[in-house]
Amino acid sequence: MASESAIVLSFDPESPVLPDPLHELTDPRVQVVVLLADPATRESGWAPSAAAGLARGLGELGRRVLLLDADVADPTLHEVLGGPNGEGVTDAVLFGVSPERVSREQEGGFLFAPAGTVVADPPSVLRHPRWGAVLSQCRDSGLLVLLYLPAGAPGTEGLAGEADRSIRLKSALSAGVDQGQGGFVLHPERAGVAGSGAVPAPVTPAAADPEAEPDVPGLSVPMESEAAEAAEVAQWSPPVEDTDAGGGDAGGAIPAGRGGAAGSVQATDPQPSPSTPSDAAPESRTLFWFLIFLIVVALGLVVGALFGVLEIPGITPVAGDSALLLDDLLRSP
C-alpha cells in the first residue's frame, strides 16, 4: 500500500447507499479494515457516525460486520449507537473474553463491541500481543472487522499493520493525503464534492430536461401543449358579430400563448345561449312597429268604410243612411 494513492470520497453517514469504490470491501478476502479518525472528526461526532454508517452499509450489502471501538481512551461509539459501554474490546484483549461474547447485534444488521472496561494505560491495550489472537478469531468466523482507532494515538501503528485496508476519517484534506499513503480517505460532504469523489458538473435547465426547448433571448418557441390548447379554443368558440350600430366588439381579442402561435382568439363563451339580450332588442322593436302598422291600416279601413270609400258589410252605410248621416252633420252646430 506504500506506493498507492488514496481514494478520496465524501461520505454521508445517513445515506443508505455507500459510494461505489467502497463496495470492494465486500470482497471476502478483505477481513480487517482500520478506521483512523483524526481529532477534529472525533470531537465533532462525525467520525463515530461515519464508522456506524459504514458498518450499516456493508452489512446491508451482505457482509457480516463487527465494529470494534478501540478508542479506549475516549470511547464514543456506544453513545452514537445508543447503548452502554459494557464489556468490550479491553476485556477481549486483556482478559481473553471472546469477541462474539462482548459484541451486540445492532439495527442495520451488524455487530458492535464497545471499548469496554476503562483502563489507566490505553496505549498498553493497543500494543497488547493478544490482538493477533482476537483478530484471528474474527477472521476464522468470516467476519469483516472494522477497527475504530484514534489517528496518531500511541500504539495504533502496529494495529494498522494488521489490516487488509485502511480508511482515514478526516475533517479536511491535506497535501499528504495523496502522497503514497494509499487506502481510502472519507470526509464530510461539502458543496462541490460528490459522493463518488468527482466534482459534479453544474446542472443547466437543458441538462435537467433533455426535451426542453433552448431559451434564446428574443425568440419564444411555443410549447406543443399550448398550441394544441389554443387550436381547441378556436375550434369551439364561434366568432362574435356586431349587434348594435353604436356598439363595438362583444369582447376584445385574447393574446395568443407564449410565442403567439395560436393567433388571436375572440373572448366568447364557448357555449353561447340561443337568445341573448342584444338579439331580443331588435326583434321587440320590429314587432312594435308591425303592430302600429296593423292598427293604422285597420283604422283606415274603418274610416273608408264609414264614408263609403270602401264597402264593408255591416260597416258601410246604405244610401238612405248616408243622406241621414249627412243631414245630421249639416244640422249640428
Structural domain spans, the chain: 7-188, 292-331
**What is the spatial distance between Cα 185 and Cα 194, in angstroms, rounded to a whole number?**
14
Residue 185, SS3 per DSSP: strand
CATH class of the structural domain 7-188: alpha beta
At 318 the pLDDT is 58
Q: What is the pLDDT along the chain (333 residues), one digit of tens a residue?
A: 445 678 999 999 999 899 999 999 999 999 999 999 999 999 999 999 999 999 999 999 999 999 999 999 999 999 999 999 989 999 999 999 999 899 999 988 999 999 999 999 999 999 999 999 999 999 999 999 999 999 999 999 899 889 999 999 998 765 455 444 568 999 997 533 444 343 333 333 444 444 444 444 443 444 444 555 555 545 544 554 444 444 444 444 444 444 444 444 444 444 544 444 455 556 677 888 888 888 988 888 877 777 767 666 666 665 555 555 556 656 655
At 281 the pLDDT is 58
At 214 the pLDDT is 44
C-alpha cell at 78: 456506544
Can you say whether residue 204 is alpha, beta or left, with left for phi > 0 and alpha for psi between -120 and 50 degrees? Answer: beta
At 280 the pLDDT is 53
Query: Measuring CA to CA, which residue among 116, 183, 110 is closest to residue 143?
Result: 110
**What is the spatial distance between Cα 278 and Cα 285, in angstroms, rounded to a whole number?**
12
**What is the spatial distance between Cα 170 and Cα 46, in angstroms, rounded to a whole number?**
9
Residue 32, SS3 per DSSP: strand
Query: Measuring CA to CA, which residue among 149, 175, 153, 176 is closest to residue 163?
Result: 149
Q: Are 73 and 150 in contact (CB under 8 A)?
A: yes
Q: Are 30 and 138 in contact (CB under 8 A)?
A: no
Q: Are 96 and 41 in contact (CB under 8 A)?
A: no
Query: Measuring CA to CA, which residue among 65, 248, 226, 243 is closest to residue 142?
Result: 65
At 319 the pLDDT is 54
Can you say whether residue 78 is alpha, beta or left, with left for phi > 0 and alpha for psi between -120 and 50 degrees? Answer: alpha
DSSP 291-304: HHHHHHHHHHHHHH
Query: Measuring CA to CA, which residue among 81, 72, 76 is closest to residue 110?
Result: 81
Q: Are 160 and 166 in contact (CB under 8 A)?
A: yes
CA angle 65, 70, 72 (to 5 degrees): 145
Side-chain half-sphere exposure of 281, counting CA atoms within 13 A: 6
Query: Measuring CA to CA, which residue among 4, 5, 71, 9 is closest to residue 198?
Result: 9
Local structure of residue 24 (DSSP, 8 states): G
